[in-house]
């Protein structure tokens, strides 16, 4: 009965979010890749089961005992002086029976010139957004975990202030004999409690499904993640409704099959991770491909590697360092750094 209840709740939430148009919404920083590992793997993967506490924000159902006392700190350099970051810590509560993690995700937009319609400058404006995240998981039975993240959001953009709340609902199913992990996620279900201008907006809802397969005779994990299952048409993010206008505004004259396949692959991210060495791989090499980002950021008719990302993770004694580089467009890409460790490795009495 527990499983049936979970399925019913998830489907009811899907029916709620399916009506939301992708162009609407706020708190878009919640859609950024939180850690360097995620950036290297194409921004989002929800089905990797290991000891990385950074996976808990991606899918709280992945939270496990190996993540307890885990700590992770990330920073990403974006364009125009914008910076984002994430920090998390895993622990147990309620007589050490319930696994939990607490984290904070943020973005700092820096300072910009405040101008009038004529371009005359009147000073500086700044902006930043924060989300305090608390998550937990529950083992339904050996192969099935469920999880939830609760996000308390604060946003300050120039003189405008907003607050909100959102939740992530998640499930993970394990197939140990096949070394397969599957994940399901309803991400950022919620919206504003206090709006900027009096009209409440939704958070950027994303319904996701992912599969990760670890190869039997090669230290490699392949992940395929489907995004935005709550909205089919991703060809052009038009807040006024669905249409077939392409990125640069030209009318779409392609075949129906070409349009279908283009739209289909915008929902799918591909990624792989090599784990080199003993004990889980002290050295990991990663690569990812985000087709949606590639199509949206490519400048026609020029070719580029937009949408590709790569990186590595290396464990030096008790600390792991992760680096990622994501290519956005012809202007280049940006770097992402993460430092993580588990306090249990420093003192077994903790």
pLDDT of the chain, 350 residues: tens digit per residue: 444 344 444 444 444 444 333 455 799 999 999 999 999 999 999 999 999 999 999 999 999 999 999 999 999 998 888 999 999 999 998 878 899 999 999 999 988 888 888 888 888 889 999 999 999 999 999 899 999 999 999 999 988 999 999 999 999 999 999 999 999 999 999 999 999 988 888 999 999 999 999 999 899 999 999 999 998 888 864 443 344 444 444 554 567 888 889 899 999 999 999 999 877 779 999 999 999 998 888 777 777 788 999 999 999 989 999 999 999 888 788 999 999 999 988 876 54
What pLDDT sits at residue 199? 86
Helices (H), the chain: 2-17, 36-40, 55-58, 256-265, 291-297
CA distances (Å), 209 to each of 29, 43, 145, 212, 311, in order?
21, 14, 15, 11, 23
What pLDDT sits at residue 254? 64
Q: What are phi and psi of 231, to 5 degrees?
A: -145, 125
- Cα–Cα distance, 190 to 168 (Å, whole number): 9
What pLDDT sits at residue 241? 39
What would the two tokens of residue 173 be? 């199913």
What pLDDT sits at residue 253? 59
Structurally, at CATH architecture level, domain 2-109+126-345 sits in Beta Barrel (2.40)
What would the two tokens of residue 2 be? 């527990």
Q: Which of 127, 107, 134 is nearest to 30 (CA)?
A: 107
What would the two tokens of residue 146 be? 């469920």
User: What's this model's pTM, rounded to 2 decimal places?
Assistant: 0.84
What pLDDT sits at residue 289? 96
What pLDDT sits at residue 247? 46
Other beta carbons within 10 angstroms of residue 118's beta carbon come to 5
- Cα–Cα distance, 166 to 134 (Å, whole number): 11
- Cα–Cα distance, 222 to 327 (Å, whole number): 20
- Dump pLDDT digits (tens) for 247-288: 444 554 567 888 889 899 999 999 999 999 877 779 999 999
What pLDDT sits at residue 350? 46
Angle at 281 between CA 278 and CA 284, to 5 degrees: 150
- Cα–Cα distance, 43 to 288 (Å, whole number): 8
């Amino acid at each position: 009965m527990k499983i049936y209840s979970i399925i019913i709740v998830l489907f009811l939430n899907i029916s709620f979010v399916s009506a939301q148009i992708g162009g609407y919404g706020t708190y878009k920083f919640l859609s950024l890749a939180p850690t360097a590992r995620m950036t290297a793997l194409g921004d989002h993967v929800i089905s990797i089961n290991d000891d990385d506490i950074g996976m808990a924000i991606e899918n709280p159902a992945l939270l496990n005992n190996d993540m307890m006392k885990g700590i992770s700190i990330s920073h990403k350099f974006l364009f125009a002086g914008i910076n984002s970051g994430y920090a998390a810590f895993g622990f147990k509560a309620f007589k050490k029976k319930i696994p939990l993690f607490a984290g904070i995700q943020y973005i700092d937009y820096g300072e910009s010139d405040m101008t009038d319609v004529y371009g005359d400058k009147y000073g500086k404006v700044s902006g930043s957004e924060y989300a305090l995240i608390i998550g937990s998981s529950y083992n339904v039975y050996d192969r099935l975990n469920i999880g939830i993240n609760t996000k308390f959001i604060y946003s300050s953009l120039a003189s405008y202030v907003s607050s909100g709340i959102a939740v992530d609902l998640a499930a993970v199913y394990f197939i140990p004999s096949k070394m397969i992990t599957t994940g399901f996620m309803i991400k950022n279900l919620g919206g504003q409690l206090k709006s900027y201008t009096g009209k409440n907006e939704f958070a950027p809802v994303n319904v996701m499904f992912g599969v990760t397969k670890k190869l039997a005779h090669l230290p490699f994990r392949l992940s395929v993640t489907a995004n935005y299952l709550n909205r089919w048409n991703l060809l052009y993010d038009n807040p006024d409704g669905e249409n077939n206008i392409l990125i640069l505004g030209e009318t779409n004259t392609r075949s129906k099959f070409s349009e279908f396949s283009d739209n289909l692959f915008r929902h799918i991210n591909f990624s792989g991770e090599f784990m080199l060495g003993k004990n889980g791989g002290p050295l990991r090499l990663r690569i990812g491909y985000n087709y949606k980002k590639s199509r949206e950021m490519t400048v026609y008719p020029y070719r580029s590697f937009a949408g590709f990302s790569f990186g590595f993770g290396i464990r030096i004694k008790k600390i792991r360092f992760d680096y990622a580089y994501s290519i956005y467009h012809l202007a280049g890409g940006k770097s992402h750094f993460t430092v993580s460790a588990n306090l249990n490795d420093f003192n077994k009495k903790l």
